[in-house]
A and B are shown apart, each in its own frame.
Chain A
Amino acid sequence: MTPTLMFALAILFLPLLSFAFQIFFGSKIGRAAHWFSLAALGVTLSLALSFFANIFITPGYALLDVSAVWFSSGSFTVELGIYIDNIAAVMLVVVSTISFLVHIYSTEYMRGDPRYTRYFGYLGLFTFSMNGIVLANSLLMMYVFWELVGISSYLLIGFWFEKQSAASAGMKAFLTNRVGDIGMFIGILLLFMQLGTFNIQAIAEQVEFGAFDGTGLLLTIAGIMVFMGAIGKSAQFPLHIWLPDAMEGPTPVSALIHAATMVAAGVYMTVRIFAFLTPAALEFVAVIGGITALMAAIIAITQVDIKRVLAYSTVSQLGYMVMALGVGAFQAGFFHLTTHAMFKACLFLASGSVIHSMHHALHKIDDHSTDPQDMRNMGGLRKKMPITYISMVVASLSISGIPFFTGFLSKDAILAGTLAYYHLHHGWTIFLPISGFGAAIITAFYMFRLIFMTFHGEPARKDIHEHLHETPGAMTTPLIILSVLSLAFVFTIPSTVNPFNSQGWFTSAIHTGENFAGLDMEVVGEALHHAHEPAMMISLTVAALGILAALLFYLFKVVDVEKLTRRVNKLGLYNLSFHKFYIDEIYDAVLYRPFFWYTKVVAKFDWELYDQKFIDWWGWLTLKISDWSGYSDYTWLDQKVVDGFGKATRYFGKELRLSQSGVIQNYILGGVIGILSIFILFQAF
């Protein structure tokens, strides 16, 4: 076993060890048990960094590619294997970094929770599963860890299961994801049947050498099917409904799973299978991403729960990444995955810091009815919580795409990608840049709406405000680290010092080979190059406009927001956004209710009609027949026929008895008549 393989296995199994440790020993040790998890994750992170350090030597080539037979029946063989190239190495670092920081943060955030150690166990299980997706070299193995990620997400969303909303949210997340997973599974089956392998590299190679002949329709279908898994996991329309509900989990969990890593797994997987997505499949991917990016951004405008705003923001940004993949700018998409992981984790952890502080303040004033997450109860927090405030501003500038911050680098590239796609394809594809730039302006607006409502202005509730204070170092340190990682220079210097140039060391580090089923990368690259400058100009303008609008609405209050709301709502637009386009309600009316009604009908049919009526009818029929045969047997055959013989015998006996007179002459007479009769009879014949 080579050292690299050992390292990779350690990255995979250390978090699992942490899970096992917490489940079996955690509750006995108590709070101190978190040191085990912290140590395990610390080692995982440093091992991930050791892979990361190696990607610069030969970008685009695999650092590790090993497989071993898992089980085999002869012709049917399933292998498990690890494949680490630059993309995987970056992803490992992203996952381990955020996971490690969230572990540190949670030691404070979850302090005093009755299931404190189990929480750390679940975090370990999640990190194990997530790293499994990253390391997997085959689609089936990816699917295995895909499901395990689903179950750890289920456990963590429903961690506070005494809350009904948390319990339901966990279930909703798992089931919604399963809808996508079915598609992914069918896609995997299709590819396996056609190519006889689950190995991603092998599939890509066979596709490159023309394994799918003809129009490639089957390959398109297979690609879209596998991508359905990403629609579920990365919360794309129409399966995005679970992610906002998933905010019922503890906030650090939201940061780790439902912002930075798990939801990015769909994007990561699409990057992995990118090489065999056909142009038609990519078009589908782009449209899904475009719809999601714009729709979720519109919903985020009107939400008042600080975590919900961030949740819809996450959905929207994931839409961006997916759209980037669809238009062929897949490096930009992956770049955005990385930068988004940092600034969105920062935003969530900062919001967690606010919620934590609010929660304690409410506890102090013995108020159990006020929602600690409702931004309408906040305001003016910046002086009380300066570190939280500054890190949140940094992350917000980053997500809005302002120069000097990471979001600018990656988002800009995506927007250029959509413009380039439009230049190449024309027609309806204008929807993609419109969605991209539209979402950009809205993003800047709602992020600064959040900042102003939470941190600026007058405190909404003086009584709460008094008791607010900055959170402890275990919570603020991760915020500082993540906000530093949201600064552009981290990803560009030393390759370039130009803040408007996104082509730094990182973009060359995530460079990959260019053999794709769907795209001529030269054409795409050319178009991207031309789209770059206009895209940057427009994106800077829209970001500035969005922030300006937020300033006018929420900081300087030049515009009366309530009046505007009322006016907009005459067309029902406000409600449409506030009620998330009524998608949950529609699903409830056309899917859930009819479905459960239908299962009830099925069960009624199965038991009350089919079994009790039809099956038991045979029993009834048998009883009837046996009744009848019993009747005929006794009343008719026995009583009438058999006993009839008896009665007849008795009757004749009784009658004939009279001939037994005892007079000898009569007997002789009878005898003579008898003999004579026989004699005559014989004579006659």
Chain B
Amino acid sequence: MSTACRLNLAFPVVGALVLLWLRPPEGSVLDDGFLLWFGVGAVLQLAAALVLTRRNHGSWVLGWVLLWLASASYMGAYAPVHLQEDALSGNWATWMAPEPKLPKELEKEAGEQHELPARVAEWRQHRDEAAAWLRTTFAADVLDDAFRTRAKADIGRAGLLLYVLSAIFLSAFFSIGWFAGRHSLHEYGVSGGSEEDPLAVNTMGRDPA
């Protein structure tokens, strides 16, 4: 079994263990809908790895298609986590961001020239909207320490999930590139692969040495 096949077996298995460990707990803003997409992707990648252990033309075609489908499924797993995390942490960041300070010189003439006080008022409005979203999402009456701890834990979990899902996606996508390489095409007896020497004469390139 080639190293590429071994890696394609290892990544979904290790990824599944890590994702199960990171599974959002009860009451989390994040949901675990991504696990279904990941499961489909993992099965496809494992199937691709097993199919590609047989070195013939048919295996290459099937394995390559399975890797594309696995990559697409991993993107599907990434999407819901990303969008939830985007809403959660976007509002969190707005709420937590320090209030903008105006340069002293501009503050005096801001009303006429730069409308900066109005901007600051708008910024405060955005902050209030973000706070309202956070209160609703976490069903918290007050933005107290316990709320902060829960929000931080969810954001941290989402960050880790994004990195893990990205790494698993890369393992499948890079395999697509690896198996499209000349060495792999040759190994699997795939006709139509370019047999041309990279340094050979080109219609417009340099002459051969």
A binds B: no
Give me the interface of A with B, judged by CB distance under 8 Å.
none
